Amino acid sequence: MATAQLLSSSSVLHHHRSFISCTTTPPIMTSPPPNSPPDTSDGGLLDVQHDMDALRRFDGQYWRALFDSRVGTTRWPHGSGVWSKKEWVLPSIDDADIVSAFEGNSNLFWAERFGNQFLNMDDLWVKHCGISHTGSFKDLGMTVLVSQVNRLRKLNPRSIVGVGCASTGDTSAALSAYCASAGIPSIVFLPANKISMAQLVQPIANGAFVLSIDTDFDGCMKLIKQITAELPIYLANSLNSLRLEGQKTAAIEILQQFDWEVPDWVIVPGGNLGNIYAFYKGFKMCRELGLVDRIPRLVCAQARNANPLYRYYASGWADFAAMKAETTFASAIQIGDPVSIERAVYALRNCEGIVEEAGEEELMDAMALADSSGMFVCPHTGVALTALMKLRRNGTIAAGDRVVVVSTAHGLKFTQAKIDYHSGRIPEMACRHANRPVSVKPELGAVMDQLSKLLSHTR
């Protein structure tokens, strides 16, 4: 019997009620040891708990072989990088209810030139989660959430009239695309003039009901929470733990892409802070189920203009204070009151994690350097690359370490930031790596002059 058939006929999958359940995440802890078990009594966010005993009936070798057997398939739904791990994500759902764009399976890029040239490293990798259906890692979680909504609406069409989110641009793009594909209404709350044009046009094109609100992301988040408490609109932000079940598969995929060898470090840009927890959860499941024997150290990287987690970390986890996030080129992480703060702290404390920050000039320079080595990354990836550069400089990350930088969105969503940088018109920024286009008359002589100048410099 094929492994997939064996699994789907096993009690592991059939008794889904005992397979996964929800508990709350641990509260912010100021003094207990980092390995304390989650406290479920604080009324915090729900978290999906898998029936690990049921999953343990199969050993690590079994799971590795099963997941590996699905790479590259077009078979529904296992062609998706998320649903190829279905047993660990949402085992109970019927394949027919799944809404998927075959997300995941994203490129783990060997950043050879960037690593060698700027960091004296030769084992640096960039996980391009932004090379995806809607251009960001949000697709990984949204396929799970929208599939579950699809299923619930089939059971009772009036239970959920639509799905809503607050967004800095990527969650809304993913939500509206997956909803449109399933014929489910979507409603998005966007902070007016704070997201890129490319991001704004995504939900518009996908037919979402778009509210542009004169506030910041945290203001939109507050409003959507109130609205979804009043109306039968399902909340799609990452405080909904289904999202994180999908997002955690990026961690599993990284291990798989390294033939189940564990990298030393994984660096993730953080805003609302669901993703850093999702990565931790994915790595931890792989260790607990015997696919690997350790987990990497995680680094969460924040923009200095929106750095509540960094400040908390710098205080030795003594004082958390939400803040008003200031404008940053890394606009998708302009978040001052992250909903998953407790989950993030829990994750970081349990993997010897680190939090770093990046100033505006640093993150833009890092983005430009990455692009100059052949990538085309978003400013959030610039934040993560800055964290890497700082940790290399201070010796925390060694030259020989294997490091994965998570690139969270496609650079094409943030072309205006790149245009501003390369035209050198950002106030108080040197734009050191700007590559300005040269205007020239349509005449052979004029073109020759320019090329002679260029060639004399390169000789």
Ligand X SMILES: N[C@@H](CCOP(=O)(O)O)C(=O)O
Report the interface residues with ligand PLP, using CB under 6 A.
Answer: 136, 168, 170, 238, 269-275, 332-333, 378, 380, 408-409
- Residue 301, phi then psi, degrees to nearest 5: -110, 130
Rounded CA gap, 49 and 35, in Å? 17
Q: Binds 115, which of ligand X, ligand PLP, none (CB < 5 to 8 A, cut-off by type)?
A: none
Residue 235 is classified by DSSP as: E
∠ CA 183-140-11, rounded to 5°: 90
Q: Contact, 233 vs 163, CB < 8 A?
A: yes
Binding mask 114-153 for ligand X (x = CB under 6 A): ----------------------------------------
Structure tokens at 193: 């003039």
Q: Which of 271, 308, 353, 382 binds ligand X (CB under 6 A)?
A: 271
Closer CB to ligand X, 80 or 167, in the complex: 167
Q: Which of 164, 246, 274, 282 binds ligand X (CB under 6 A)?
A: 274
Q: Contact, 166 vs 183, CB < 8 A?
A: no
Q: Which of 171, 228, 305, 407 binds ligand X (CB under 6 A)?
A: 171
Structure tokens at 379: 């400013």
Closer CB to ligand X, 78 or 413, in the complex: 413
Closer CB to ligand X, 63 or 414, in the complex: 414
DSSP structure string for 31-98: SS-TTPPPP--S---EEEEE-HHHHTTS-HHHHHHHHHHHTT--STTTTSTTGGGHHHH-TTS-GGG-
Closer CB to ligand PLP, 100 or 381, in the complex: 381
Closer CB to ligand PLP, 168 or 206, in the complex: 168
- Number of neighbours of residue 198 by Cβ within 10 angstroms: 17
Q: Which of 170, 356, 362, 371 binds ligand X (CB under 6 A)?
A: 170
Structure tokens at 188: 């998005």
**Residue 127 Cα to chain centre, angstroms:** 10
The letter for the amino acid at 35 is: N
Part of the chain binding ligand X (CB under 6 A), chosen from 49-57, 112-120, 161-169, 313-321: 161-169
Closer CB to ligand PLP, 102 or 277, in the complex: 277
Rounded CA gap, 101 and 140, in Å? 10
- Number of neighbours of residue 244 by Cβ within 10 angstroms: 28
Task: State the nearest-atom distance from the C-beta of 397 to ligand PLP, in Å.
Answer: 20
Closer CB to ligand PLP, 19 or 279, in the complex: 279
Rounded CA gap, 32 and 176, in Å? 41
Instruction: Of 303, 299, 313, 382, give the one whose Cα is nearest residue 341.
Output: 313
Q: Binds 237, which of ligand X, ligand PLP, none (CB < 5 to 8 A, cut-off by type)?
A: ligand X
**257 contacts ligand X (rule: CB under 6 A):** no
Part of the chain binding ligand X (CB under 6 A), chosen from 205-213, 268-276, 302-310, 354-362: 268-276
Rounded CA gap, 4 and 443, in Å? 65
Closer CB to ligand PLP, 378 or 405, in the complex: 378
Closer CB to ligand X, 106 or 171, in the complex: 171
Part of the chain binding ligand X (CB under 6 A), chosen from 95-103, 270-278, 353-361, 415-423: 270-278
Q: Which of 106, 134, 168, 206 binds ligand X (CB under 6 A)?
A: 168
Which residues 321-350 are close enough to bind ligand X by CB under 6 A? 332
Q: Which of 77, 79, 135, 169 binds ligand X (CB under 6 A)?
A: 169
Q: Binds 47, which of ligand X, ligand PLP, none (CB < 5 to 8 A, cut-off by type)?
A: none
Q: Binds 270, which of ligand PLP, ligand X, none (CB < 5 to 8 A, cut-off by type)?
A: ligand PLP
Rounded CA gap, 303 and 322, in Å? 14
Structure tokens at 225: 């929470």
Q: Which of 100, 186, 237, 386 binds ligand X (CB under 6 A)?
A: 237
Crossing angle of helices 249-257 and 60-70, in 10° steps, is 90
To 10 degrees, the CA torsion angle through 345, 346, 352, 357?
Answer: -20
Residue ranges binding ligand X (CB under 6 A): 165, 167-172, 237-238, 271-272, 274, 332
